[in-house]
């Protein structure tokens, strides 16, 4: 493990239409977590935003901020995860129970 991050989430800001049913029947929500090098005036250096599609990013749609927090521990070695194979929307839709 290379970091521990505490985040406070505004559940009321989660757009209900972005909840996703998984293969296991559980309900998921996709977030983006950003870690800044410097803290703000409240000692926070982590932001939690609603994940955006490529189209939303290209259209420069404003991010929806859902929460914030701070890194409470790190060994100084945060690395990127290996990229996974992309899944198409049709493959996801075929696994949905509705």
Q: What is the pLDDT along the chain (98 residues), one digit of tens a residue?
A: 578 888 888 888 888 888 989 889 899 999 999 999 899 999 999 999 999 989 999 999 999 999 999 999 988 887 777 877 766 666 665 666 65
CB atoms near residue 68 (< 10 Å): 19
Using CA atoms, how far apart are residues 34 and 14, in angstroms rounded to an integer? 17
Cβ atoms of residues 34 and 46 within 8 Å: yes
Cβ atoms of residues 78 and 4 within 8 Å: no
pLDDT of residue 54: 92
Q: Which helix (H) or strand (E) holds 57?
A: helix 54-58
pTM: 0.68
């Amino acid at each position: 493990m290379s970091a521990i991050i505490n985040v406070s989430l505004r559940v009321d800001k989660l757009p209900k239409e972005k909840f996703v049913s998984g293969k296991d029947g559980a309900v998921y929500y996709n977030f983006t977590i950003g870690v800044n090098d410097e803290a703000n005036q409240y000692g926070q250096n982590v932001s939690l935003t609603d994940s955006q599609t490529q189209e939303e990013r290209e259209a420069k749609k404003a991010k929806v901020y859902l929460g914030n927090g701070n890194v409470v521990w790190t060994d100084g070695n945060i690395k990127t995860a290996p990229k996974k194979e992309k899944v198409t929307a049709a493959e996801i839709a075929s696994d949905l129970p509705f």
